[in-house]
Amino acid sequence: MRIVHVSDCYLPRTGGIESQVSDLAAHQVAAGHEVHVLTATLGEAGERGGVVDVVDGVHVHRLGARMPFALPVTPAGPRLLRAAYRTIVPDAVHVHAGVVSPFAFDGARIAMAMNLPVAITWHCMLDGVVGSLRAAARLAGWEHAAAALSAVSGAAAHRVEEVFEVPVSVVPNGMDLDVWTPAGLRAEARSGPVHLVSTMRLAPRKRAVPLLEMVGAAVDRLPAGSVRMTLIGSGPEQRRVETQLRRSHLEQVVTLAGRLTRDQVRTAYAEADVFLAPAELEAFGIAALEARAAGLAVVARRGTGIEEFVEDGLDGLLAVDDRDMTEAVIRLVQDEGLLEGIRSHNRAVRPAFDWDVVLRAAASEYSRAAGLIR
């Protein structure tokens, strides 16, 4: 099968969509498909304007242009997309969308105009923009678009359904479970303080500063020395995070580890007990899934995509707000039996999001898209 993925952002940028699209493309190549990626992101050496890289067997078409702030947009996008479709002649076009994805939406619009099978997957939560997007979709005639619509979780899919008022499937994010699953089924006997960990881009949407406020509130109510935390990641909120750390007097409790490699993150998880996921608009939560697969108890917000793989009281604890999240941390620190029971379960029971699951879900969407061709 000849598959084309369309994404505003792609490697060498790093982020959730970029990693998932590149991993999905590589696994499809390994399964015997011919796979192309059309992106507005420039290459490592600034490749653009139609240059094609071949990475891990994936043909990456760099259709972007040099733009201020390295924005992944290009005025020539529609022309280059149309030319690429004509050259490749894909069996399926898989568009990867966020709230604002001008290149991806151009890719979807042009592919549908060319009567190609189109599957669109949303990698975001549409909270707060459902009404405006519904109006825009109607204005553009997209409410009757011949495309198979999906999202990365049930929570995200529900918002997409509100926009388009049609059934929306789920194509989840995937991961190599063997990489993250602990070698042994029994957790090592824990000694010392409960070790909290969180991995995120330090950006407002991920809510690193409120997370430190929650941890500080928990520390104030717990015996001294009963908890410590490692915050992994970097980003534009670095200074605000450092300021909040000092303001909350958490310098002796929280370690800012910065950005780590995947192997370094795995090592950090092997030494941790609880993963904290404070984001309110988490469409899936791949970092939380990795922590869950590594055997950590996960504390996250209700109503997010993390509920796809975390059941309250079994895989972790789900909180309705920040105060409830603080209470969940305190409960896990104080109730050793609860914490060890969750950790043992998570080490013994693998989550159901390996790449075979994702490949089957994507293939089903491609078949559904082909059936919509008029």
What is the residue extent of each domain of the chain? Answer: 2-174+354-371, 177-348
Distance CA 364, CA 358 (A): 10
pLDDT value at position 190? 62
Q: Residues 347, 265, 249, 235: what is their CA dihedral angle, to the nearest 10 degrees?
A: -130
State the sign of the Cα–Cα–Cα–Cα dihedral 10, 15, 17, 20. positive
A 10 A CB-CB count for 1 gives 13
pLDDT value at position 217? 97
Q: Are 187 and 366 in contact (CB under 8 A)?
A: no
HSE toward the beta carbon, residue 233, CA cutoff 13 A = 22
HSE toward the beta carbon, residue 271, CA cutoff 13 A = 9
Nearest one of 56, 50, 124, 119 to 82, comparing CA atoms: 50
Class of CATH domain 177-348: alpha beta
pLDDT value at position 70? 66
Distance CA 48, CA 39 (A): 9
CATH of domain 2-174+354-371: 3.40.50.2000
pLDDT value at position 69? 62
pLDDT value at position 71? 67
Report, as ranges of residue numbers, the positions in the chain whose pLDDT lies below 70: 69-71, 140-144, 184-190
pLDDT value at position 192? 85
Domains 2-174+354-371 and 177-348 alike in fold = yes
CA 326 to chain centre: 24
